[in-house]
Structure 1
Amino acid sequence: MATPAEHMWNEFVEKNNITKGNFQTRWFGQQDQPDEIDRLNDLILHGQKRSTSKPLAYYAAEQEAVPQVGDYYVLLNGEMKPVAIIQTVVSELIPFLRVSAEHAYNEGEGDLSLEDWRTRSSKKFTELMSNYDSKFSEDDPIVTEVFKVVHSEG
Protein backbone atom coordinates (compact mmCIF):
# COMPACT_ATOMS: atom_id res chain seq x y z
CA MET A 1 0.00 0.00 0.00
CA ALA A 2 1.36 3.40 -0.99
CA THR A 3 2.09 6.03 1.64
CA PRO A 4 0.27 9.38 1.28
CA ALA A 5 3.49 10.91 -0.12
CA GLU A 6 3.83 8.09 -2.67
CA HIS A 7 0.17 8.48 -3.60
CA MET A 8 0.64 12.23 -4.22
CA TRP A 9 3.81 11.56 -6.22
CA ASN A 10 2.19 8.83 -8.34
CA GLU A 11 -0.77 11.07 -9.20
CA PHE A 12 1.59 13.93 -10.10
CA VAL A 13 3.75 11.70 -12.32
CA GLU A 14 0.74 10.26 -14.13
CA LYS A 15 -0.95 13.64 -14.65
CA ASN A 16 2.25 15.25 -15.97
CA ASN A 17 3.57 12.31 -18.02
CA ILE A 18 6.85 12.24 -16.12
CA THR A 19 8.85 9.19 -17.11
CA LYS A 20 12.06 9.83 -15.19
CA GLY A 21 12.75 10.88 -11.68
CA ASN A 22 11.74 10.05 -8.19
CA PHE A 23 11.16 12.05 -5.08
CA GLN A 24 12.23 12.50 -1.52
CA THR A 25 10.10 13.84 1.31
CA ARG A 26 11.07 17.16 2.79
CA TRP A 27 9.98 19.78 5.28
CA PHE A 28 11.37 23.14 6.27
CA GLY A 29 12.11 23.74 9.94
CA GLN A 30 12.72 21.34 12.81
CA GLN A 31 10.55 18.22 12.91
CA ASP A 32 9.87 18.80 16.61
CA GLN A 33 8.38 22.24 15.80
CA PRO A 34 5.30 21.46 13.70
CA ASP A 35 3.90 25.00 13.95
CA GLU A 36 7.12 26.37 12.43
CA ILE A 37 6.95 23.80 9.62
CA ASP A 38 3.35 24.86 8.89
CA ARG A 39 4.31 28.56 8.99
CA LEU A 40 7.07 27.99 6.45
CA ASN A 41 4.78 25.88 4.27
CA ASP A 42 2.26 28.73 4.23
CA LEU A 43 5.01 31.05 2.95
CA ILE A 44 5.93 28.50 0.27
CA LEU A 45 2.36 27.79 -0.82
CA HIS A 46 1.57 31.52 -1.05
CA GLY A 47 4.67 32.17 -3.18
CA GLN A 48 6.56 34.27 -0.63
CA LYS A 49 9.26 31.67 0.13
CA ARG A 50 10.99 30.44 -3.01
CA SER A 51 14.50 29.71 -1.77
CA THR A 52 16.43 28.24 1.12
CA SER A 53 20.02 27.74 2.23
CA LYS A 54 22.16 25.58 4.50
CA PRO A 55 25.88 25.24 5.14
CA LEU A 56 27.60 22.72 2.88
CA ALA A 57 29.00 21.11 6.05
CA TYR A 58 25.43 20.22 7.11
CA TYR A 59 25.00 17.98 4.06
CA ALA A 60 28.29 16.22 4.81
CA ALA A 61 27.39 15.77 8.49
CA GLU A 62 23.97 14.33 7.61
CA GLN A 63 25.35 12.33 4.68
CA GLU A 64 22.58 13.96 2.68
CA ALA A 65 22.80 14.76 -1.03
CA VAL A 66 23.01 18.42 -1.98
CA PRO A 67 19.84 19.40 -3.89
CA GLN A 68 20.33 19.31 -7.65
CA VAL A 69 18.43 21.10 -10.39
CA GLY A 70 15.42 18.98 -11.32
CA ASP A 71 15.11 17.20 -7.96
CA TYR A 72 11.54 16.71 -6.74
CA TYR A 73 10.42 16.74 -3.11
CA VAL A 74 7.06 15.94 -1.58
CA LEU A 75 6.62 18.74 0.93
CA LEU A 76 5.32 17.60 4.31
CA ASN A 77 3.41 19.64 6.87
CA GLY A 78 3.90 19.70 10.64
CA GLU A 79 2.00 16.41 10.95
CA MET A 80 4.37 14.88 8.34
CA LYS A 81 1.55 14.66 5.77
CA PRO A 82 2.06 15.69 2.13
CA VAL A 83 0.80 19.10 1.04
CA ALA A 84 2.70 19.84 -2.18
CA ILE A 85 5.47 18.86 -4.55
CA ILE A 86 8.37 21.25 -5.08
CA GLN A 87 11.18 21.08 -7.60
CA THR A 88 14.69 22.51 -7.35
CA VAL A 89 15.34 25.00 -10.15
CA VAL A 90 18.69 26.45 -8.97
CA SER A 91 21.30 24.97 -6.65
CA GLU A 92 24.54 26.86 -6.07
CA LEU A 93 27.47 26.74 -3.69
CA ILE A 94 28.25 30.28 -2.55
CA PRO A 95 30.36 31.72 0.29
CA PHE A 96 28.07 32.99 3.06
CA LEU A 97 29.12 36.62 2.59
CA ARG A 98 28.48 36.41 -1.19
CA VAL A 99 24.82 35.33 -0.89
CA SER A 100 22.79 37.88 -2.84
CA ALA A 101 20.09 40.24 -1.68
CA GLU A 102 17.82 38.55 -4.23
CA HIS A 103 18.32 35.18 -2.57
CA ALA A 104 17.70 36.69 0.88
CA TYR A 105 14.49 38.29 -0.40
CA ASN A 106 13.31 35.02 -1.95
CA GLU A 107 13.78 33.14 1.33
CA GLY A 108 10.67 35.10 2.31
CA GLU A 109 11.39 35.56 6.00
CA GLY A 110 12.15 38.46 8.33
CA ASP A 111 12.15 41.87 6.68
CA LEU A 112 13.43 40.31 3.42
CA SER A 113 16.68 42.32 3.49
CA LEU A 114 20.17 40.89 3.04
CA GLU A 115 21.28 42.32 6.40
CA ASP A 116 18.39 40.63 8.21
CA TRP A 117 19.06 37.36 6.32
CA ARG A 118 22.73 37.43 7.35
CA THR A 119 21.88 38.06 11.01
CA ARG A 120 19.19 35.35 11.18
CA SER A 121 21.11 32.84 9.07
CA SER A 122 24.38 33.24 10.96
CA LYS A 123 22.54 32.52 14.21
CA LYS A 124 20.57 29.63 12.68
CA PHE A 125 23.63 28.07 11.01
CA THR A 126 25.70 28.40 14.20
CA GLU A 127 23.00 26.55 16.17
CA LEU A 128 22.56 23.96 13.42
CA MET A 129 26.25 23.14 13.14
CA SER A 130 26.69 22.96 16.93
CA ASN A 131 24.47 19.85 16.73
CA TYR A 132 27.36 18.23 14.84
CA ASP A 133 30.10 19.53 17.14
CA SER A 134 31.10 21.88 14.36
CA LYS A 135 31.48 25.63 14.23
CA PHE A 136 29.93 27.82 11.57
CA SER A 137 31.99 30.61 10.08
CA GLU A 138 30.87 33.39 7.75
CA ASP A 139 33.65 32.16 5.43
CA ASP A 140 31.88 28.81 5.03
CA PRO A 141 30.29 27.76 1.74
CA ILE A 142 26.49 27.75 1.69
CA VAL A 143 24.21 25.69 -0.53
CA THR A 144 21.60 28.09 -1.86
CA GLU A 145 18.57 26.60 -3.51
CA VAL A 146 15.67 28.05 -5.45
CA PHE A 147 12.57 25.89 -5.83
CA LYS A 148 9.10 26.13 -7.29
CA VAL A 149 5.81 24.55 -6.30
CA VAL A 150 4.80 22.20 -9.13
CA HIS A 151 1.76 20.68 -7.42
CA SER A 152 -0.27 21.48 -4.33
CA GLU A 153 -3.33 20.01 -2.67
CA GLY A 154 -5.10 23.37 -2.46
Structure 2
Amino acid sequence: MKNNYAIFPGSFDPITLGHISIIHNSLKIFPTIIVAIGVNNNKNNMYSLTKRKELIESVFQNEQRILIKEYQILTVDFCKKNNANHIIRGVRNTQDFKYERDIALANEELDSNIKTIFIPAKKEHIFISSTIVREIITHKGDLTSFLHPQTINQIT
Protein backbone atom coordinates (compact mmCIF):
# COMPACT_ATOMS: atom_id res chain seq x y z
CA MET A 1 0.00 0.00 0.00
CA LYS A 2 1.23 3.47 -0.85
CA ASN A 3 1.74 6.00 1.90
CA ASN A 4 0.82 9.64 1.91
CA TYR A 5 4.22 10.94 0.81
CA ALA A 6 4.37 13.46 -1.99
CA ILE A 7 7.45 14.44 -3.91
CA PHE A 8 8.33 17.93 -5.04
CA PRO A 9 10.86 17.43 -7.85
CA GLY A 10 13.10 20.08 -9.35
CA SER A 11 16.65 21.16 -9.98
CA PHE A 12 16.50 23.85 -7.26
CA ASP A 13 19.42 25.76 -8.75
CA PRO A 14 19.06 27.48 -6.30
CA ILE A 15 15.99 26.96 -4.12
CA THR A 16 13.87 30.15 -4.17
CA LEU A 17 11.20 31.70 -1.99
CA GLY A 18 8.69 30.39 -4.53
CA HIS A 19 9.89 26.81 -4.02
CA ILE A 20 9.80 27.24 -0.25
CA SER A 21 6.23 28.55 -0.37
CA ILE A 22 5.07 25.58 -2.47
CA ILE A 23 6.72 23.19 0.00
CA HIS A 24 5.02 24.86 2.99
CA ASN A 25 1.65 24.75 1.21
CA SER A 26 2.23 21.08 0.36
CA LEU A 27 2.69 20.30 4.05
CA LYS A 28 -0.91 21.45 4.59
CA ILE A 29 -2.00 18.56 2.35
CA PHE A 30 0.57 15.82 2.97
CA PRO A 31 2.24 14.62 6.18
CA THR A 32 5.64 14.28 4.50
CA ILE A 33 7.19 15.94 1.47
CA ILE A 34 10.24 14.57 -0.31
CA VAL A 35 12.14 17.38 -1.99
CA ALA A 36 13.59 15.48 -4.93
CA ILE A 37 16.63 17.10 -6.49
CA GLY A 38 16.78 15.91 -10.06
CA VAL A 39 19.96 15.51 -12.03
CA ASN A 40 19.61 16.65 -15.63
CA ASN A 41 22.84 16.19 -17.57
CA ASN A 42 21.49 18.49 -20.30
CA LYS A 43 21.41 21.44 -17.88
CA ASN A 44 24.35 23.63 -16.94
CA ASN A 45 23.80 24.13 -13.24
CA MET A 46 25.23 27.08 -11.36
CA TYR A 47 25.59 24.97 -8.21
CA SER A 48 26.69 21.38 -7.77
CA LEU A 49 24.21 18.78 -6.64
CA THR A 50 25.93 18.70 -3.25
CA LYS A 51 25.65 22.48 -2.86
CA ARG A 52 21.98 22.52 -3.93
CA LYS A 53 21.22 19.83 -1.37
CA GLU A 54 23.09 21.79 1.34
CA LEU A 55 21.12 24.95 0.51
CA ILE A 56 17.81 23.10 0.81
CA GLU A 57 18.87 21.36 4.03
CA SER A 58 19.84 24.67 5.62
CA VAL A 59 16.41 26.18 4.90
CA PHE A 60 14.52 23.17 6.30
CA GLN A 61 16.95 22.05 9.02
CA ASN A 62 14.24 22.16 11.72
CA GLU A 63 11.44 20.62 9.67
CA GLN A 64 11.08 16.90 10.38
CA ARG A 65 8.34 16.41 7.77
CA ILE A 66 10.62 17.25 4.84
CA LEU A 67 13.03 14.72 3.39
CA ILE A 68 15.64 15.75 0.84
CA LYS A 69 16.82 13.22 -1.73
CA GLU A 70 18.61 13.19 -5.08
CA TYR A 71 17.53 11.22 -8.11
CA GLN A 72 18.63 10.44 -11.67
CA ILE A 73 15.73 8.29 -12.86
CA LEU A 74 12.27 9.03 -14.21
CA THR A 75 10.19 10.94 -11.68
CA VAL A 76 7.48 8.24 -11.63
CA ASP A 77 10.15 5.61 -10.94
CA PHE A 78 11.48 7.77 -8.10
CA CYS A 79 7.93 7.96 -6.73
CA LYS A 80 7.58 4.17 -6.83
CA LYS A 81 10.99 3.67 -5.22
CA ASN A 82 9.97 6.00 -2.37
CA ASN A 83 6.36 4.79 -2.04
CA ALA A 84 5.04 8.23 -2.99
CA ASN A 85 1.77 8.49 -4.87
CA HIS A 86 1.69 12.23 -5.55
CA ILE A 87 3.88 14.70 -7.40
CA ILE A 88 3.66 18.35 -6.37
CA ARG A 89 4.15 21.01 -9.02
CA GLY A 90 4.08 24.74 -8.50
CA VAL A 91 2.58 26.88 -11.24
CA ARG A 92 3.09 30.62 -11.67
CA ASN A 93 1.10 31.25 -14.83
CA THR A 94 -0.74 29.62 -17.72
CA GLN A 95 2.50 28.81 -19.54
CA ASP A 96 3.75 26.90 -16.47
CA PHE A 97 0.41 25.11 -16.21
CA LYS A 98 0.41 23.98 -19.86
CA TYR A 99 3.98 22.70 -19.59
CA GLU A 100 3.35 20.96 -16.26
CA ARG A 101 0.02 19.52 -17.43
CA ASP A 102 1.74 17.81 -20.36
CA ILE A 103 4.36 16.31 -18.04
CA ALA A 104 1.62 15.21 -15.63
CA LEU A 105 -0.25 13.47 -18.45
CA ALA A 106 2.93 11.69 -19.56
CA ASN A 107 3.61 10.62 -15.97
CA GLU A 108 0.05 9.35 -15.64
CA GLU A 109 0.52 7.35 -18.83
CA LEU A 110 3.63 5.77 -17.27
CA ASP A 111 1.87 5.04 -13.96
CA SER A 112 -1.81 5.83 -13.46
CA ASN A 113 -1.49 5.45 -9.67
CA ILE A 114 0.73 8.51 -9.36
CA LYS A 115 -1.17 11.79 -9.48
CA THR A 116 0.12 15.32 -9.94
CA ILE A 117 -1.13 18.08 -7.65
CA PHE A 118 -0.79 21.65 -8.94
CA ILE A 119 -0.26 24.38 -6.36
CA PRO A 120 -0.48 27.97 -7.56
CA ALA A 121 2.33 30.32 -6.61
CA LYS A 122 1.54 33.15 -4.23
CA LYS A 123 1.12 36.45 -6.05
CA GLU A 124 4.31 37.79 -4.46
CA HIS A 125 6.29 34.88 -5.95
CA ILE A 126 4.87 34.74 -9.48
CA PHE A 127 7.85 36.57 -10.96
CA ILE A 128 10.49 34.38 -9.27
CA SER A 129 12.33 31.70 -11.22
CA SER A 130 15.69 30.06 -10.66
CA THR A 131 16.77 31.34 -14.08
CA ILE A 132 16.11 34.95 -13.05
CA VAL A 133 17.78 34.36 -9.69
CA ARG A 134 20.93 32.97 -11.36
CA GLU A 135 21.09 36.12 -13.51
CA ILE A 136 20.79 38.32 -10.41
CA ILE A 137 23.51 36.28 -8.67
CA THR A 138 25.80 36.60 -11.70
CA HIS A 139 25.44 40.38 -11.66
CA LYS A 140 25.62 40.66 -7.85
CA GLY A 141 22.11 42.08 -7.48
CA ASP A 142 19.89 42.22 -4.39
CA LEU A 143 18.48 38.76 -3.67
CA THR A 144 16.28 39.54 -0.66
CA SER A 145 12.99 39.31 -2.61
CA PHE A 146 14.01 36.02 -4.22
CA LEU A 147 15.90 33.83 -1.72
CA HIS A 148 15.68 32.79 1.92
CA PRO A 149 18.20 34.70 4.11
CA GLN A 150 19.96 31.42 4.94
CA THR A 151 20.46 30.74 1.22
CA ILE A 152 21.76 34.25 0.60
CA ASN A 153 24.28 33.85 3.43
CA GLN A 154 25.56 30.60 1.95
CA ILE A 155 26.03 31.80 -1.61
CA THR A 156 27.37 35.33 -1.12
Same fold, judged at TM 0.5 (above): no
TM-score (norm: length of structure 1)? 0.30
- Bigger fraction of residues in helix: 2
